[in-house]
Amino acid sequence: NAGVTQTPKFRILKIGQSMTLQCAQDMNHNYMYWYRQDPGMGLKLIYYSVGAGITDKGEVPNGYNVSRSTTEDFPLRLELAAPSQTSVYFCASGVGNQPQHFGDGTRLSIL
Amino acid sequence: RKEVEQDPGPFNVPEGATVAFNCTYSNSASQSFFWYRQDCRKEPKLLMSVYSSGNEDGRFTAQLNRASQYISLLIRDSKLSDSATYLCATGGGNKLTFGTGTQLKVEL
């Protein structure tokens, strides 16, 4: 029972590079979310999706893109990495008003 | 005013103590309420949901006060292993809004 799986767990990027953070869930949840958490700070919502083919911006979407072609997968794309995007990224999934379940995070450093 | 506010702490308490945290929220339309636990550099994990009538899970008691728009978490008989950051979350519909967390340190 994997729950929410994120890959990679760690990554170092150079400024200007691009990458995709992968997120997959096997709980058949309609809702999926991407958060970032900076050291000592709270979770900030980047993007979310209420179902396949539907995505919407969260609080801090600039510099990121998402897609949701299947119920299971919700990748997050960084096109031109900037130092300000150094953070821990969490993917989560849920159903309606039920609690969200989190993956164990991707730690991203941009140098 | 932030949508969800928590005292960041840290709360330093001796083992065996009772400690309580509050979390205030500004959206009166919020329908769901949760407490999460987050260990250092780990993902948030659901501790408990918060129901209108209050609810208990072992040493943990959660309460909701809609009139004053806050939720609370009470931890009895604190253990060293309770040391963590506790996040509250409120929401309705598609999204949850998380507080920045309250840090708890339980000491010998």
Interfacial A residues in 32-71 facing B (CB < 8 Å): 33, 41-43, 45, 48, 50, 56, 58
B68 and B45 in contact (C-beta within 8 Å)? no
A66 and A52 in contact (C-beta within 8 Å)? no
Q: What's the pLDDT band for B2 if we cut at 50, 70, 90?
A: confident
> Which amino acid is it at A72?
E
B100 and B6 in contact (C-beta within 8 Å)? yes
- pLDDT (tens, 9 = 90+) of chain A, 111 residues, equals 679 999 999 999 999 999 999 999 999 999 999 999 998 888 999 999 999 999 999 999 999 999 999 999 999 999 899 999 999 999 999 987 788 999 999 999 999
pLDDT above 70: residue B107: yes
Distance from chain centroid for Cα B18: 14
Taking the CA of residue A29 and the nearest CA in chain B, the distance in Å comes to: 12
- For the CA atoms of B85, A88, B95, B101, the dihedral, rounded to the nearest 10 degrees, stands at 20
| pLDDT at residue A1, rounded to an integer | 64
Interfacial B residues in 47-76 facing A (CB < 8 Å): 49
Taking the CA of residue B93 and the nearest CA in chain A, the distance in Å comes to: 6
Closest CA to B13 of B59, B82, B97, B96: B82
Residues B5 and B23: their CA atoms lie apart, in Å, by 6
Q: How many residues does chain A have?
A: 111
Task: Give yes or no for B86 touching A (CB within 8 A).
Answer: no
Taking the CA of residue B51 and the nearest CA in chain A, the distance in Å comes to: 12
